[in-house]
Structures are given as C-alpha cells and as structure tokens.
Chains A and B, each alone.
Chain A
Amino acid sequence: MKSLKAQHSILADANEQIEIIEHGETGDFALIPFQQKLEQSNLYPLKPAFVEILQVNVGKMCNQTCRHCHVDAGPDRKEIMTRETMQQCIDVLRVNEQLKTVDLTGGAPELNPNFQWFVEEISKLNRHIIVRCNLTIILANKKYHDLPQFYKKHNLEVVSSLPFYSQDRTDKQRGNGVFQDSIKALQMLNEVGYGAEETGLALNLVYNPAGAFLPPSQQSLEQEYKQALKQKFGIEFNNLYVITNLPISRYLDYLLTSGNYERYMEKLVNAYNPVAAANVMCRNTVSVGWDGYLYDCDFNQMLELKVNSNSKHLSDFNINVLSKRDIIIGQHCYGCTAGSGSSCGGAVA
C-alpha cells in the first residue's frame, strides 16, 4: 500500500484535510464547534499547563503502512530529521530542564540513520526517553535485531502499538504478517527484561480501534490483553494505553471511503468529556516536526498547524513564550476529549 502522498490523494494536502474536518466532505456538515465546548468547560482559550514533554517526530519513513496512520507514514516517505536538527533538540533540552521526558516518534523512529546517536546524546542529559516502536522494525532487518538490547542499555520506555491480541484485527489495520512479527518482537523484548515489574524496563502497549468506533475501558481491556498474551504467547507487559483514532490523514480517508465519517464525528462530539478536555496532552507537550518546527501535538503537526507563538522553531525555542501560547484547536480535537479521553499515554480521565 502506498502513502496518500504517493497516491497524490487530495488528503495529502493538510488544508484539504482541515476543510473536510471542519465542514465535512460536501461543505455543509456542521457539528458543535470544539471551541464552544471548551468555552462551556471554561477552558477556552486552551493554554499549556506545565510543559514537560518534548515529543520529537524524527521522520515519516516507516516499514509499515497502517490503514489508520495519521502521519501517512510508509516506506515511500522520505522526510527525515537531520543530525543538525537533532543537535538543536539536544541544545533545547540542555537549557530547559523542565523538559523531563523526550518522546520519540515517527514513522518508525529507528529508521532514522541517526536514531541511536540521538538516543545516546539525550541519555547523557539524564532524561526519561520514550520510543514509539512499531515492533516489526526489530525483525525487519538483521541490523535491528539488537534494538531490545539498545533500548535496555539506555533504559528507554518502549511504547508499541498492538491494536488487538488477535491476528485478524491487527493485520487488518497494520498489514499482513504484522501480528506474528509483533509477537516475536514482544518475546524478544521480554527476553531482555522488558515488561517484567522487577526490572523497571517499561513495555507499554497501545490499543486503537480497528474500525469506526471508540475504544472500550482501558482498565478492563488491559486485563484481557494481559490474560490473552500471557496464555497464548507467554508475553508480559506493563500497561495498556487505549487511544482514540483521530480523523486525520489515512484514518480520515478510511472514514470517508467507508461512509463512516459523519457518524464517527457525531460519536466523538456526543462523547465529549470536560475532564478529559482539561487533561489533553497538548497542555504538557511540545511537538517537534522532522524539520524542527514546533506544534501543539503530533496531530496538529500532520495538519501543518504550527504553534501560535513567536517561538515557532527549535532555533528560537523559548519555553516561557511557548508556555503562554494559545493552543490551536479544531474539530479533530474531539478525538482527544471523547469518553475517557485519549493521549499518547492513553486515557486521561
């Protein structure tokens, strides 16, 4: 499967996406504006709480082409963070100690040729590092087989998508053979100590719905996952994060082509939860694009909505200025406030 960009889809254009998200495919689909909901919750304008996470998207290249990917990542995407931009991240971290966590995402972050160097440099600054590993990368090539050891050496928290504990749903969303490879990769991570309470090596899994529906309760699904993975494959992990799919990029494409878009958006709006809204991740995160520009979150990044601030790029990063900005919102934000909420760390309410 090719990325939307390679297919020259109109959805590869961020402005086209925003137009559809705000007004529907025919331009006359109107739901309660997200801003109005925030106003009712006394949260508008949405402001940062305490910025402590630097989420860095090191490139859009990926060995998988998942059907729900909001990045439109894939093997044909060439956007990749350079070592110079990574150095700018390091410089920002060095002078901003309140950025306690660095969250590495992509694409498959490991496909960036400077990934290991970058991790080593961040490690020297004594920060908590999260890697959003798609699992199959570990088996994709011999040179990646030692990734579990590398993660362990730098005490990385590994967060990995496994949309379900059965092959059928996982492969439908992430591609044929992904489930089997993911299971092997999880076993490799377990072998070096990931997922076992006593090692402190955190292995967290991510569930996201394989279809046009909201995720179930995080707590009960985690128990099911733990039972099923332990029983069938002997796999252990720490936490399950349930994440709602946002109507962006390939998931938006799926919603539109399957005729589910309007129903799904109505579902999100009806499930608006003010408690989740107060805890959205954009309030404690700054997202960095592959080219060093700054965004409120990875979703705004994919919609090319740069932060509403004079500090727009790593080269002029100013945490005080960024902490006072108004966070850019849109109808897609309903995805993070539905039900128990959704963030890169799962439910928030």
Chain B
Amino acid sequence: MNEHYYNSKDLAKFGNVADYQKEMGEKFFAYYGEVFKDSELSAREKSLIALAVAHAVQCPYCIDAYSSDAFEKGWSESQMMEAVHVACAIRGGASLVHGVQMMNKVKEIAM
C-alpha cells in the first residue's frame, strides 16, 4: 500500500494551514514562535518538554521535529528517553488513577 495518512514530507508543509485561514494561522504561528523562545524557561528546556508532550499526544510530526530539535539542543539520548518515560508515566498514571473511581464504585455496591 503506497498511501498513508501520515507522510513525513507533510511536516514541512505545516505552515500551509494558514492558506485556508490566514488570520488564525498567522496568529497561531506567531504564538507558537513566542512560546518556544528563551524566556523564564530556556528554549532548550522547552524543547525537552515538547518532546515529552509529543509522545503523550502521539503526534508523529511532533516526535520527528522535537527528537531532532532536542538532540540538536544538546539533550542526550538517555535524557530524551527519560522525558518519554515521564510522558508514559503520566499517561499510564492517568489511566491507573481512575482505578480509584472503580474501587469507589465497587465498594459502593459490594456487600
């Protein structure tokens, strides 16, 4: 099968989304650029956060972009993998913490 929903070359076309809604698109990219600047957090720190979030939202474009960006900004392979584990722990924890709801419900109805 040659057709895929995801194509790595589409990442470079991200900016084209403004073609269909210029004002919102431009505002988004201006905001995006502002978010990733050095500020209270450094651009380097933000890159690692973005990498973890990319894995949490499982966006292949973001994983592609921020794996490169984080490595280029000097994060090591093990640091990057730890960031992915943080995403994993939060995602896993988010499921597991609902186990408390399950327990509450079961306790409510069980003899």
Contacts and interface: CB of A to CB of B under 8 A. Distances in A.
Contact of A211 (B38, B42, B71): B71
Contacts of A168: 76
Interface string A205-232: 0000101011111001100100000000
Interface in A148-164: 164
A277 B96 CA distance: 56
Contacts of A220: 38, 42-44
Interface residues of B, number: 10
Contacts of B71: 211, 213
Contacts of A217: 43
Nearest to B42: A220
Contacts of A169: 76
B72 A209 contact: yes
A221 B74 contact: yes
B91 interface: no
B27 interface: no
Contact of A224 (B44, B72, B76): B44
Nearest to A213: B72
A310 interface: no
Contacts, number: 23
A48 to B, nearest CB: 33
A166 interface: yes
Contacts of B68: 213
Interface in A177-234: 209, 211, 213-217, 220-221, 224
A169 B77 CA distance: 10
A214 B76 CA distance: 16
A216 B72 contact: yes
A216 B73 CA distance: 6
Nearest to B77: A168
A217 B68 CA distance: 15
Interface in A213-262: 213-217, 220-221, 224
Interface in A44-95: none
A169 B78 CA distance: 12
Nearest to B12: A270
Contacts of A166: 76
A50 to B, nearest CB: 34
A221 B73 CA distance: 8
Most buried by B among A164, A211, A216: A216
A221 B75 CA distance: 12
B4 to A, nearest CB: 19
A245 to B, nearest CB: 12
Nearest to A215: B72
A68 to B, nearest CB: 15
Interface string B63-97: 00000100111101000000000000000000000
A224 B38 CA distance: 13
A104 B76 CA distance: 33
A169 B68 CA distance: 15
A9 B42 CA distance: 43
Contacts of B42: 220
Contacts of B44: 216, 220, 224
Smallest CB-CB A-B distances: 6 pairs: A213-B72, A216-B73, A216-B72, A168-B76, A220-B38, A213-B68
Interface of A: 164, 166, 168-169, 209, 211, 213-217, 220-221, 224
9 contacts: A169-B76, A211-B71, A213-B71, A214-B72, A217-B43, A220-B38, A220-B42, A220-B43, A220-B44
Interface of B: 38, 42-44, 68, 71-74, 76
Given A216-B73, A220-B43, 14 more contacts: A166-B76, A168-B76, A169-B76, A209-B72, A211-B71, A213-B72, A214-B72, A215-B72, A216-B44, A216-B74, A217-B43, A220-B38, A220-B44, A224-B74
